């Protein structure tokens, strides 16, 4: 099925410049189910862009029964940010704001519209909420380029049944973040992709893009109570496609094929998906509050001890920080140990750390007793 391609201009571009989103649409506008898939929200994370490209190749040849929207490069603002040849696409240069934080929370506006209108039929309530979301978003007038960009992304995605935000870590296993309220309903996505880890949280504290699309459903359900049933009508997930250096055509084609089979299984694309392969390694499901992000207590050279995919026990050394300027070379090293037993799923790509930098991440099966700050690293 040939897709429809268009560009969506972004507001507040400086005079003489212009930025826009490239949007590919497949299927029938307004058809259900609707899936929205984007890549490059953190503009220096490239693997998802290649996967989105390969997925578009497959969708051009598929029969799309619902509607699929693909935005292969979701952040032209961040893609512009190069300093001395280095791409800096995770944070805004003019304020240090993480591009994947601070998306709009429209709950109060939506609830004001819904009061007195909800009924006992879940499907009817879903339709009412989607209408209210569209109205609330239309009334949320952006004031600057960052807000205008966020508004444009939500305008494309907020009414979707499925929202997939393709990212990557520095060095990591393939994993995904999604809501506790969406598990185990999202297990087919993790199984299709061959994820090694699923991290669950209904409230990360940062209002990232995927949560802006999915969390309103369970927050509104809690606000209005069981008398007015509201299902979690948007399955949203952040899919972390391994590490930044894993930009590989074969990997991208395999990931795109897995996403297509997921869409087939969800009824968006015609055809029966192949049976799920037997995973080479099991997928661990952990609360996001169970992640130990192990930081460097001082600056120095990073020597990783644990490998990605290793299972470690609490107290086990996973890395060392070496101070090459120490007066006594024999003692110029600090061991970093995990606070929990679990899976080593991400590591810093840089081999020199400053004090406070995250060096290794380990996912345990239980929440850590003292989780400081928000659940997402910035």
CATH code of residue 59: 3.40.630.10
**pLDDT band with cut points at 50, 70 and 90 for residue 220:** very high
Last residue of a domain, one of 242, 259, 282: 282
Classify residue 334: in a domain, yes or no.
yes
Please give the pLDDT value at position 372.
52
Please give the pLDDT value at position 369.
85
β-pairing verdict for 34-39 and 67-71: parallel
pTM over cut 0.85:
yes
Instruction: Let me know whether 245 and 341 are in one domain.
Output: no
Is the Cβ–Cβ distance between 26 and 57 less than 8 Å? no
Count other C-beta atoms under 10 Å from residue 92's C-beta.
16
Number of independent structural domains in the chain: 2
Instruction: Let me know whether 312 and 247 are in one domain.
Output: no
Please give the pLDDT value at position 276.
82
Classify residue 261: in a domain, yes or no.
yes
165: part of which helix (H) or strand (E)? strand 162-169
Instruction: Let me know whether 299 and 158 are in one domain.
Output: no
Instruction: Let me know whether 304 and 272 are in one domain.
Output: no
| 115, pLDDT greater than 60 | yes
Classify residue 108: in a domain, yes or no.
yes
Instruction: Let me know whether 277 and 302 are in one domain.
Output: no
Please give the pLDDT value at position 374.
61
Please give the pLDDT value at position 117.
96
**Rounded Cα distance, 332 and 262, in Å:** 50
Q: What is the CA radius of gyration of the chain?
A: 21
**pLDDT band with cut points at 50, 70 and 90 for residue 68:** very high
Instruction: Let me know whether 140 and 224 are in one domain.
Output: yes
Last residue of a domain, one of 250, 282, 314: 282
**pLDDT band with cut points at 50, 70 and 90 for residue 378:** confident
**pLDDT band with cut points at 50, 70 and 90 for residue 1:** low
Count other C-beta atoms under 10 Å from residue 326's C-beta.
12
Please give the pLDDT value at position 283.
96
Instruction: Let me know whether 138 and 267 are in one domain.
Output: yes
**pLDDT band with cut points at 50, 70 and 90 for residue 330:** confident
Instruction: Let me know whether 242 and 298 are in one domain.
Output: no
* Residue-number span of the structural domain to which 74 is assigned: 4-282
**pLDDT band with cut points at 50, 70 and 90 for residue 274:** confident
Classify residue 243: in a domain, yes or no.
yes
Is 193 strand, coil or helix?
A: helix
Give strand pairing partners of 8: 21
**Rounded Cα distance, 129 and 307, in Å:** 45
Classify residue 371: in a domain, yes or no.
no
Instruction: Let me know whether 100 and 227 are in one domain.
Output: yes
Instruction: Let me know whether 261 and 294 are in one domain.
Output: no
Chain centroid, CA 347 distance in Å: 18
Please give the pLDDT value at position 278.
80
β-pairing verdict for 317-322 and 333-337: antiparallel
Instruction: Let me know whether 210 and 312 are in one domain.
Output: no
Classify residue 228: in a domain, yes or no.
yes
Please give the pLDDT value at position 375.
73
Is the Cβ–Cβ distance between 236 and 178 less than 8 Å? yes
Classify residue 217: in a domain, yes or no.
yes
Query: What is the strand order of the sheet 333-337 is part of?
Result: 333-337, 317-322, 300-304, 352-353
Instruction: Let me know whether 237 and 109 are in one domain.
Output: yes
**Rounded Cα distance, 101 and 75, in Å:** 13
What average pLDDT score do residues 150-171 get?
98
Please give the pLDDT value at position 377.
75
- Condensed to tens digits (0 to 9), the pLDDT of residues 289-310 reads 999 999 999 999 999 999 999 9
- Condensed to tens digits (0 to 9), the pLDDT of residues 277-290 reads 788 889 999 999 99
Q: What's the CATH number where 304 sits?
A: 2.40.50.100
Give strand pairing partners of 200: 178, 287
Last residue of a domain, one of 232, 266, 282: 282
- Condensed to tens digits (0 to 9), the pLDDT of residues 118-136 reads 999 999 999 999 999 999 9
| CA distances (Å), origin 250, targets 47, 50, 231, 280, 340 | 11, 10, 38, 18, 35
């Amino acid at each position: 099925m040939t897709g429809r391609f268009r560009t969506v201009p972004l507001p507040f571009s400086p005079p003489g410049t212009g930025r826009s989103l490239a949007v590919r649409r497949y299927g029938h506008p307004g058809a259900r189910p609707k899936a929205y898939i984007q890549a490059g929200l953190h503009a220096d994370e490239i693997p998802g862009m290649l996967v989105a490209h390969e997925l578009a190749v497959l969708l051009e040849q598929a029969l799309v029964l619902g509607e699929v929207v693909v935005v292969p490069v979701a952040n032209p603002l961040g893609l512009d940010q190069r300093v001395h040849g280095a791409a800096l696409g995770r944070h805004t240069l003019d304020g240090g704001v993480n591009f994947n934080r601070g998306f709009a929370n429209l709950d109060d506006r939506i609830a004001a519209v819904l009061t007195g209108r909800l009924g006992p039929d879940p499907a009817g309530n879903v339709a009412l909420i989607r209408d209210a979301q569209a109205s609330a978003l239309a009334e949320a007038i952006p004031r600057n380029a960052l807000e205008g960009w966020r508004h444009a992304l939500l305008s494309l995605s907020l009414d979707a049944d499925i929202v997939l935000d393709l990212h990557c870590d520095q060095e990591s296993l393939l994993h995904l973040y999604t809501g506790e309220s969406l598990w185990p309903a999202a297990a087919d996505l993790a199984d299709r992709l061959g994820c090694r880890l699923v991290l669950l949280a209904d409230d990360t504290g940062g209002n990232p893009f995927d949560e802006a699309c999915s969390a309103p459903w369970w927050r509104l359900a809690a606000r209005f109570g069981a008398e007015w049933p509201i299902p979690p009508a948007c399955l949203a997930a952040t899919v972390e496609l391994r590490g930044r250096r894993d930009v590989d055509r074969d990997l991208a084609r395999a990931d795109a094929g897995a996403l297509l089979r997921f869409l087939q299984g969800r009824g968006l694309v015609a055809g029966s998906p192949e049976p799920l392969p037997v995973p080479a390694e099991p997928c661990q499901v952990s609360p996001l509050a169970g992640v130990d992000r192990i930081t460097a207590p001082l600056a120095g050279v990073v020597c990783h001890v644990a490998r990605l995919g290793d299972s470690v026990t609490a107290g086990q050394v996973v890395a060392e920080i070496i101070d090459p300027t120490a007066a006594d070379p024999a003692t110029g090293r600090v061991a970093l140990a995990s606070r929990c037993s679990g899976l080593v799923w991400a590591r810093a790509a840089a081999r020199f750390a400053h004090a406070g930098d995250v060096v290794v991440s380990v996912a345990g099966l239980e929440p850590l007793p003292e989780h400081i700050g928000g659940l997402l690293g910035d």
